[in-house]
Chains A and B, each alone.
Chain A
């Protein structure tokens, strides 16, 4: 229990009025960053990094990591209110969060999202506190083959369960893979599918596709139905937070499962985005209300938000103990550590005890401060839906355009955003599922990269994916998840006659 003592020391470091002030500033800035699409957590942290050079490393990391928590919290807000995921990991939150807002339950959705985020983060911090060395050695076992198997599992647990016609699901998902393939092939360094266009060099960024498909597409759908946001009539009740809290403990199984998925995905490090999709997919299958997912189920908000935060938080562990960033934001924080003269790696925990445990203590406090800050703002956020559509729509369009521009500082991306918007409108009207498309854009190139790295190492043999216990187990889990609907029908059929007897 040495770590408990260290942690208490950490709290002593963090609990100065100055550090608490940095925490609040960080959270508020982070929420703003999370709300503005395109201005991601990585961007926000990178931009503010130089300003922290004159602070002590501990204060600086508190400020920056609180921006990170704030961005994680903030991503949920626009997803729920406007169907615009401000961050990649909040895409899965739109699936049920936005329908909830349309049904007049924006306050409940926001409260559930924030609270779940907090639970996920807290769980991950506890894991970090108690099991840091163990976790680091687990992460070391992940080579390319293991990484591919994790992406494979994320895919399998999410797809193959929609109500849409299978050929449309395939078309949408493969389109996502094709879009992900555009640009530089990281394995051979070759350009592909760019057809000589310099605009396509960087490929299609996931955020631009998402802002268009979800955000702009949603506005077009609303226009078609006349000028109103469905959730307009939402009553703003100050007690909504407490009422939702009473309901949440019922879903403790989903929460716990999502925490575990999130921690695992954060440590491996696959990241928060696959974690949120995977957790949503599994919750949908496991829940008895699974059929209603997508129409505004609170469980469909809890699952992805918990997993995303657990993953986002636990991703900091491989960064500290191995020097491998688990997310783009962690990559920037890593740069910061180097600049402050701290060398992330196995020795950081030994040599910079005060810093490490100060950081871990700030994770506890930062998330508590964050939860308080965002929860007090719930009625305010929900009230945004009362603003008339003719005012809110052009403002959203402008903010989306700026978001699309800031991803790569490229005006062409703004054009692409509009193209994706019209495509999103048409695809949704024609009953094509957008989620597999988006998942393929996010994970497509990473999965392909890991797959081909594995084959390089095995010199072309597919046996590499069943070469060790770890990778074979994950791959098998993936296959089971993929054929789950089929297997459960078989199981049900086998069981029915038995029950009749």
Chain B
């Protein structure tokens, strides 16, 4: 079954190659000429990896592309390895990369030389939300109660768990510390699922997990969401845990914590690629976003479904980079050498 599909793909690929080599490629629409590498600048199993593999699956299932999409993980150096690969592949239209916040944080924190300007922005797929979570057994029912408890305790007594170091979770933690005026102890872990379980096991006091990382524990009544770091409440009104839905979580701002943070899930290509190629992929991801599987993923992970392409997207990324530079500078996360 698998074989036959592969075989069909092979025949298609072979015939496409023959057409191309004879120089009678149909005029007009650009199409990838060999397997498209989709680079994930993070390890297997994380949020970006899941999304990339989901896209790969959607494209294969709905036959959206003649060539095969191949997901490649390049996680070294907090993702620097993957971005350097894109930077080095100038002009290669068969390579894509999906981004996390490390697009901005890694060059700032480690000094690895790359920036989004070394790449061509293709499309913003969605934005990932962040929620402040505490253990359901803890006495804190609202943000105010939790903040009051942190304020009353000595510096560093409350422990915040998060994914990675000097990345999105720690940036939010620092912003939180600044808003409250007390230090917390930030404990970095490798993956979001692990962070959620450490909170269930009461080894830490709170987390800023993405919805998808903590939802299972919330539904099981082990965790409690306090607020979401977005400007407006989430739009998903289906009941998730008990009689609570994502939409019932108040924004942090409305609770007196003026912090907003969203993480980019977007796609970039190497620099110097033909415009036709960019347009092809913009259109491809538009089709991906229209599938029911994608809608389900958005709902499961309570994503912010903003999407942009072209100049708007580039401008958004530029602002975001500036914002990260300021945030990282304030937090003292910039590389020293």
Contact = CB atoms under 8 A, between A and B. Distances in A.
Touching in the complex, A and B, CB below 8 A? yes
A140 B197 contact: yes
Contact of B110 (A141, A189, A341): A189
Scoring A42, A50, A186, A325 by chain B CB atoms within 10 A of each residue's CB, the highest score goes to A50
A365 B25 CA distance: 51
A334 interface: yes
Given A335-B44, A339-B53, A457-B159, A347 B219 contact: yes
Contacts of B54: 339
Given A51-B60, A346-B216, A189 B166 contact: yes
Interface in A303-343: 322-325, 328, 331-332, 334-335, 338-339, 341, 343
B287 interface: no
B285 to A, nearest CB: 16
Contact of B57 (A50, A334, A453): A50
Interface in A126-156: 140-144
A335 B112 contact: no
A453 B189 contact: yes
Contacts of A489: none
Given A50-B53, A141-B201, A335-B44, A187 B76 contact: no
B219 to A, nearest CB: 5
Interface string B155-176: 0100100001111000000000
B61 interface: yes
Given A332-B44, A339-B50, A457-B159, A323 B300 contact: no
B238 interface: no
Interface in A43-61: 46-51, 53-54
Contacts of B78: 184, 189
A188 interface: yes
Interface stretch (A198-206, A210-218, A380-388): A198-206
Contact of A459 (B56, B185, B197): B185
Given A323-B216, A343-B216, A346-B216, A187 B165 contact: yes
Contact of A347 (B197, B204, B220): B220
A62 to B, nearest CB: 14
B110 to A, nearest CB: 5
B223 to A, nearest CB: 10
B241 to A, nearest CB: 10
A191 interface: yes
Given A322-B197, A408-B76, A335 B49 contact: yes
A346 B53 contact: no
A176 to B, nearest CB: 19
A16 interface: no
A458 B13 CA distance: 58
A190 interface: yes
B207 to A, nearest CB: 13
Contacts of B80: 198, 201
Given A143-B203, A198-B84, A339-B50, A346 B44 contact: no
A189 B300 contact: no
B132 to A, nearest CB: 19
Given A324-B194, A459-B156, A142 B216 contact: no
A347 B191 contact: no
B197 A324 contact: yes
B250 interface: no
Nearest to B50: A335
A456 B160 CA distance: 11
Interface string B41-58: 001110001100110111
A324 B193 contact: yes
B45 A50 contact: no
A376 interface: no
Contacts of A410: 81
A202 to B, nearest CB: 2
Interface in B168-214: 185-191, 193-194, 196-198, 200-201, 203-204, 212
A54 B2 CA distance: 11
Contacts of B212: 338
B46 to A, nearest CB: 8
A343 B215 contact: yes
A97 interface: no
Contacts of A54: 61
B201 A186 contact: no
A238 to B, nearest CB: 31
A183 interface: yes
A317 to B, nearest CB: 13
A431 interface: no
A325 B188 contact: no
Interface string A383-413: 0000000000000000000000000111000
Contacts of B112: 191, 198, 201
B53 A335 contact: yes
B44 A339 contact: no
Interface stretch (B67-75, B115-123, B274-282, B311-319): B67-75
A187 B196 CA distance: 18
Given A49-B57, A191-B77, A331 B167 contact: no
Scoring B5, B193, B196 by chain A CB atoms within 10 A of each residue's CB, the highest score goes to B193
B77 A183 contact: yes
B236 to A, nearest CB: 14
B296 interface: yes
B71 A46 contact: yes
Interface in B262-313: 293, 296-297, 300
Contact of A409 (B72, B200, B222): B72
A449 B110 CA distance: 18
B111 interface: yes
Interface in B62-110: 71-78, 80-81, 84, 109-110
B216 A51 contact: no
A492 interface: no
Contacts of B2: 25, 48, 51
A21 to B, nearest CB: 9
17 contacts: A46-B71, A51-B57, A140-B197, A142-B201, A186-B188, A186-B190, A191-B110, A201-B76, A201-B81, A203-B76, A324-B197, A325-B45, A328-B43, A335-B53, A344-B216, A347-B220, A456-B186
Interface of B: 2, 5, 43-45, 49-50, 53-54, 56-58, 60-61, 71-78, 80-81, 84, 109-112, 156, 159, 164-167, 185-191, 193-194, 196-198, 200-201, 203-204, 212, 215-217, 219-220, 222, 293, 296-297, 300, 333
Given A50-B53, A185-B165, 20 more contacts: A25-B2, A50-B60, A50-B61, A51-B57, A53-B60, A54-B61, A143-B198, A183-B76, A189-B78, A191-B111, A201-B76, A202-B75, A322-B200, A331-B43, A335-B45, A345-B215, A408-B76, A408-B81, A457-B159, A459-B156
- 7 closest A-B pairs (Cβ-Cβ)? A202-B76, A345-B216, A331-B45, A201-B77, A189-B165, A143-B203, A50-B57
